Structure 1
Amino acid sequence: MTSNQFDAGGEFDRQIRTLLDRGHHRAAGLSEEELAALLAPLRRTATERATGLEPSAAGRTPFVLVVTRDLVPIKEAVARTTLDGKKKPGFIDRNFPEDDLPGFVPTKEVELPDARAYLLFDVERGEEFCGAVPDDAMAAIAGRGRTLLTIEEGLAVVTQFPALLAKNKCFSLGGSRCGDRRVPAIWISQNAPKLGWCWAGNPHTWLGMASAADRAA
């Protein structure tokens, strides 16, 4: 492996360690060994698909290991996020009632390869869509053949790559909807990540639209 080649296996191992360090196994009701064993088969997929790609850079990353609400409840996943270099845990916006969360599920265009955990490839936070109407941003991403991120995928991005959630470069998560005009989003508030929502027709200068190339188990 040349010095400038992306080490997909090493990055996969780092993401496993991050989940364990942040206590995702406890939130899932598992031991460290049990969660690691459950996720271990994804390592081969990561190395086959991502080796040779460029490493993470501003606004993008080759892949992210996603743990869904079937393993870790969304509230617990939010609380295990932080901003880059900060310690304050993420939280849910008061305008996003906890009993609303179960209704925000993957849209019909989003097909999860596994209900528990999988890999998300070629992830972009989508700051080019800052200031765009979310409906327009979602249509543009669909036109490129890319997929919108779900709530769990957005939380996975911030968990593994907290620097991707930056001032004026936060992002919506159009892959999870509940049938109304609300679009989930994650942004910065009170020096911590905040999970909330914005209207599909209302643009925000600091809120883009995250997307990925595809998913695999």
Structure 2
Amino acid sequence: MSEKAVDVEVEFDRQVERLVELGYPELAGRPAERFGESVAPLRELVRSRTIGEHDPENGRVGFALVVTRRLVPIEQAMQRTALVGRSTPGFVDRSFEEGSLARFVAPEAVHVPDADAYLLFDVDRGEEFCGAVPVDAMDAIAGRERTVLTIEEGIALLTLYPEVLVKNKCYMLGGSRCGDRRVPALWISRNAPKLGWCWERNPHTWLGMASAASRVAAA
């Protein structure tokens, strides 16, 4: 889907329908109709904004609907992901010790809406930072007045656009930290998406740093 072809309202509805098909309403403990009603106000926000480049196959997305862990736990959200053309579900790497995911939250510099769901605009999987030291990549993104993605945002991007996660173009999620040197990341393992982590000063040639221009929640 190219930038010229995207109809933002049609695309918003597609994203909602995708989440419903994957069972998000059930995971959130809501009927499908109520789930749709809860995210409907975000549709107006999409209509009112100018959407940037939309080319998922090349790692750029105009907007993405983010459902937070307040509605759907991270582990269950990962199980609803898959690679293009594959059916093996995504998973959380066992290097996350029991209970540690709850400690990976947005640091003070990353401003996340206090909402169950919100919109992420002008998303880039950030392959330009493949091979860069993660802390340097995060500094560069901040210098552009953009924001690094959280775990939930990275999963949302993958869920709605599986084509963004491909060999040698995977991405780190510097918007979720737990106070140590670990930086969460999404990459491919055993023919499936894996949520793991890397050290903040260890570069990887196949891991970029995902970012976005802004986050917006309904009033």
Is the TM value for this pair above 0.5?
Answer: yes
CA distance in 2, matches of 1:54, 1:170: 19
The question of 1:212 aligning with 2:212 is answered: yes
Q: For residues 39-94 of structure 1, what are the alpha-carbon distances to aligned partners after superposition, in whole Å with 9 as ceiling and x for unaligned?
A: 0110000111145x443341110000000000001111111111112111100111
| 3-state secondary structure, aligned to 1:177 | coil
Q: 1:101 and 2:101 equivalent?
A: yes
**Do the aligned partners of 1:6 and 1:54 also contact (CA within 8 Å) in 2?**
no
- Count, aligned residues: 214
Residues 50 and 62, structure 1, Cα contact 8 Å, conserved in 2: no
Equivalent residues in 2 for 1:1-217, closer than 5 Å: 4=4, 6-50=6-50, 53-57=52-56, 58-217=58-217
One-letter identity of the residue aligned with 1:163? E
In structure 2, the CA distance between the partners of 1:24 and 1:98, relative to structure 1 (3 Å rule), is: farther
Residues in 2 aligned to 1:156 and 1:102: alpha-carbon distance in whole angstroms: 17
User: What amino acid sits opposite 2:55 in the alignment?
Assistant: S
TM-score under structure 2 length normalisation: 0.94
Amino acid at match of 1:151: I
In 2, the alpha carbon distance for the partners of 1:110 and 1:50 equals: 23
Q: Percent identity?
A: 60
Structure 2 unaligned residues grouped into runs of 5+: none
Question: Which segments of structure 1 move beyond 6 Å, counting only runs of 4 or more?
Answer: none
CA 1:54–1:137: 2 relative to 1, 3 Å: closer
Contact 1:6 1:55 in 2 (8 A): yes
Q: C-alpha deviations, 1:125-159, integer Å up to 9, x for none? A: 00000011101100100111000000000000000
Is the alpha carbon distance of 1:101 and 1:134 closer, same or farther for their aligned partners in structure 2, counting shifts above 3 Å? same
Residues 167-214 of structure 1: per-residue CA shift (max 9 Å, x gap): 000000000000000000010000110001000010000000000000
CA RMSD, aligned part only?
A: 1.3
CA contact (8 A) 1:130 1:209 kept: yes
Alpha-carbon distance, 1:5 to partner: 5.2
